[in-house]
Structure 1
Amino acid sequence: MNWYSLSDTAILREVGTSLRQIRLNRNQSQQAVATAAGIDRATLSLIEHGRPTSLLTFVQLLRTLEHLDVLEGLVTKAELNPVVLARLAKKQRRHASGPADSSSATPAPSEW
């Protein structure tokens, strides 16, 4: 499906329809899923019909329907390019500096 060709409301309808189909495939009622997700049944009905919802509610539904894996494509790990890595390595300390106070650097005379 070309998501970019759809309007925002059309995308919400598609997502709602998909959530509804997932729920039906699991043979669960709206009330059972809504209760497990901690939301109202009417809220679930609205979502399934393409009405906007909060991201938190969406995550709660995905968790309840055991479909959190669909979020995998949204999460990316920050990657540093080789130039940035080289600069960071260059700035890394390689040696310890001496003590800041020169009087503490001189050892106490030995009584031997």
Structure 2
Amino acid sequence: MRMGQNSSDEAVLKELGNRLSRYRLNRDLTQEALAEEAGISKRTLIRLEDGEPVQATNLIRVLRAHGLLQNFDALVPEPALSPIQQAKLQGKARKRASSPQEDTEENSSWSWGDDA
């Protein structure tokens, strides 16, 4: 089932639970074994797989146990910087290179009062 903007919260939770349950079954794990691996109670895992609300940390633990946490960027991509933010970060960027300045003996040995 594809989730859309108009999907209800309940439908999203139900689909999430179904998918996590299928991942567990594909790994041939019992709910008890996965709950232990994730560091949550079996009852919490049952609620999650049934599409009931659970704490976000419990969901993260189950995703980590399944090896799915790296998919977080697909769920919530890193926001792009606005042009204004990019300009502020760049600050006063150099626009051209300067020519190397030669250090001549004439310039380096000058002192106050020598110009008279």
TM score, norm. by length of structure 2: 0.68
Equivalence for 1:33: 34
Cα distance in 1 for partners of 2:81, 2:6 equals 30
Task: Tell me which stretches of 4 or more aligned residues in structure 1 moved more than 6 Å.
Answer: none
Equivalence for 1:18: 19
3-state SS of 1:17 partner: helix
Aligned match of 1:76 in 63, 75, 78?
78
Alignment of 1:22-101 (within 5 A): 22-73=23-74, 74-81=76-83, 83-86=84-87, 88-91=89-92
CA contact (8 A) 1:3 1:11 kept: no
Query: How many residues get paired?
Result: 93
The aligned amino acid for 2:6 is S
| Structure with the higher helix share, 1 or 2 | 1
Q: Shift in Å at residue 75 of structure 1?
A: 3.5
CA contact (8 A) 1:15 1:50 kept: yes
CA contact (8 A) 2:3 2:12 kept: no
Cα distance in 2 for partners of 1:47, 1:33 equals 12
3-state SS of 2:53 partner: coil
> Which blocks of at least 5 consecutive residues in structure 2 are unaligned?
94-116
The aligned amino acid for 2:5 is Y
CA 1:80/1:65 → structure 2, altered by over 3 Å: closer, same or farther?
same
Cα distance in 2 for partners of 1:37, 1:88 equals 40
